[in-house]
Structure 1
Amino acid sequence: MSDTEDRKVPDAEPGSEDSRQRRKKMWIVLAILVAGAIIAALLLSGGEEEAPFAATDGATTPAVTVLAPGAGTLQGVINATGTLAARREMPIGVVGEGGRVVSVTVEPGDWVNAGQVLAVIDRSVQSQQESAQSAQIEVAQADAELAQANLDRALQLVERGFISQADIDRLTATRDAAVARVQVARAQLGERRARNAQLNIVAPAAGLVLTRNVEPGQVVSPGSGTLFSIARGGEMELLARIGEAELDAIDVGTQGTVTPVGTEQQFTCSVWQKSPVIDEQTRQGTARCALSYDSALRPGGFASIELASETVVAPRLPESAILSDDRGSYVYIVDSDNKVVRRPIEVGSISDEGIVVASGLQGNERVVLRAGGFLTEGEQVRPVTQGES
């Protein structure tokens, strides 16, 4: 054997350390290649955003759906909210002298008639005063009868010359004074009885008791304030807060539909008064809408109202076509050059059929129905009329 053959390096045996190192390097390289392929695929798939408008046949101009809404005669509707209240609320307090309350005969929610007793004040002292006044009438009446008898006797003696005419005049004056004292006593008794009657707190008119602020045993006086409040005739009203411009479109007598919050019941009302004053902060006025009595109508409650206003000739658009920003409401229309143009509008009433455009559109414009938020003014588009395939 030569020296060269003696120095030849033997091949790595299977399972040796060198063999394992080579296999490990091959797996690392393979893993790096696979990871790179996955990353490249993700980049290629996510590198482009989906265009908000469909471009067909390779065209770069976005297609948008447009509609010429036209103009129709529409019944104007004004929607508003407000607070329920008694149309004519009557506060009731102490009219007479006052005193300790003996009994209270009604509760909030009761219906009362005119003159019905609501509460009774103790009158034990006043009853004794009434008896004394009644006795004074009898005393005055006796004095008057005696004075009349003396005058009659004097008249019989004056013809015989036993009594002078001056005595007759004096006796006549005495009789007249006694008769006057009878009238005074009777008037004083009538006053006392009237004061005693005021110790009964009564309803001035028929209606619904709204509040009660008195209890038996309480001492009340004319300065005690309102003890009861009554809605005269049970009539209610809605104090609807309506915008300045819309208030002018409502006439007295306009019919409306009221829906109290928390219920699906609806009630018919009629505008009987419009506020002559507009709030400087909210630019709103109040329309007072009369309602007939119903137990579901509670003063202080919140309700919505729908009022019929004058008919208008205007376009109507779906909600998706109307946009708004800090400059107000607007729509995008497509002009004759197929470019997007911003058109400011004024929104009218809202219903299930759409939104009425009170001003800003004639009805023959091509209005962008959807995706207006993705457009910019002056952009070139390809309009597609709604309903076309």
Structure 2
Amino acid sequence: GKAPGGGAPGGGGAGGPGGARGGGSVVLARTDIHTVQPGRIEAGIAISGTLRPIETVSVRARLEGDLVALNVREGDAVREGAVLAELERSEQEAALRSAEADVLAARAEATTAQWNLDQTKELHQAGAVAERDLRAAEQTALTAQARLAAAESRVKAAQSLARDTRVTSPVTGVVEKRNVENGERVTRGQELFTVVRADVLELAAAVPARRASALARGLEVRFTADGRAIDGRVARVSPTIDPQSQSVTVFVQVPNGNGVLKGNTFATGQIIERGYDGQLVIPQSAIRQTAASAGAVPFVWKVAGGALARADVKLGIVDEARGVVQVTEGLKPGDEIVVGNVGLLGAGMQVQIIGNESARGPR
């Protein structure tokens, strides 16, 4: 679609006061020159905040006991189910062996009781055994089966206790904290480790209530964090407006499977509402501004015929996430302009460009 015009980027930009100096010369690197060309500009809602792990899990001891092995340190990556630590288990193993022996005895008793019942039934049918003897045999078999079931339950409980001597990670992630040392005695419920899921990071940002209607799950988000450009998506939007700040909280998730981004990294970006292709876009670092007394007019330094010329521009959408701004008037494709802070410049200065690198992408 056709992009709207108007507006100006914040901060103005560095540079001289626009035509304040004439003559002289300046040496610029090829990377200080940007060739204007059509590109994409995206309009959206600016947000910022801290990227935090999507899940933080406290790993606690299920039993009281002495630590005999610690298998991880802070910063180690772990898989779900990995054994982080081990407790002394001789007591639990002894209890398990005893319970297993009880099961063997109970199973033998139940087998014998069932055989006796089968024999009593045959004799009863032949009229050789009284009804009360049959009922007694049935009761004995039921009691034996109940004892076997109870013994098997005790084995399961003992197995569970034995398993609990191994402290495992409930999630795939990274060990953030290790709160114990080998040989310590720990109590049931004591926190031993903190494991964070860092494969996805989440940012909670406040958006003005007047923009709430534009928010929706799945919207793309462009971020800059730790010097990197990253993409995310809106995962959730709060259903209520904060009455004090008159803002809505939006939750943005960022994939981080390679672990490059660390938790608690500050990020800035924007939620993309719409994008426009084929627009004249230039780096924000190319924009200069005249003094307030001169109207604070935005302009760029254009290189034409080997010399600098001031070109006043009208600006449209500012794309903070990409670091570019739309130019609606004042430039055309193919124009070469100066980007960044390269010192005091003036109209008419001769330009010497060194280096052969092209600088055609927004920087």
Within-5 A mapping of 1:1-389: 75-94=42-61, 96-151=62-117, 154=120, 163-225=129-191, 227-231=193-197, 234-260=199-225, 263-293=226-256, 294-310=258-274
| SS of aligned partner of 2:216 | coil
Distance in 2 between the 1:92 and 1:217 partners? 18
Deviation at 1:115, TM superposition (A): 1.8
Distance in 1 between the 2:60 and 2:163 partners? 14
Contact 2:53 2:263 (8 Å CA) reproduced: yes
Gaps in structure 1 of 5+ consecutive residues: 1-72, 324-329, 333-346, 357-389
Bigger helix fraction? 1
| SS of aligned partner of 1:182 | helix
Contact 1:236 1:291 (8 Å CA) reproduced: yes
| SS of aligned partner of 1:235 | strand
Gaps in structure 2 of 5+ consecutive residues: 1-39, 277-286, 298-315, 328-363
| SS of aligned partner of 2:264 | coil
| SS of aligned partner of 1:114 | coil
- Max radius of gyration: which structure? 1
Letter aligned with residue 296 of structure 1:
V
Contact 1:91 1:227 (8 Å CA) reproduced: yes
| SS of aligned partner of 2:85 | strand
TM-score (norm 1): 0.55
Contact 2:171 2:197 (8 Å CA) reproduced: no
Deviation at 1:157, TM superposition (A): 5.6
Deviation at 1:129, TM superposition (A): 0.9
| SS of aligned partner of 1:266 | strand
Distance in 1 between the 2:111 and 2:190 partners? 47
Greater relative contact order (Cα < 8 A, sep 6+): 2
Identity %: 24
Contact 1:113 1:203 (8 Å CA) reproduced: yes
Distance in 1 between the 2:190 and 2:268 partners? 36
Task: Mark the CA change 1:269 to 1:113 in structure 2 (over 3 Å): closer, same or farther.
Answer: same
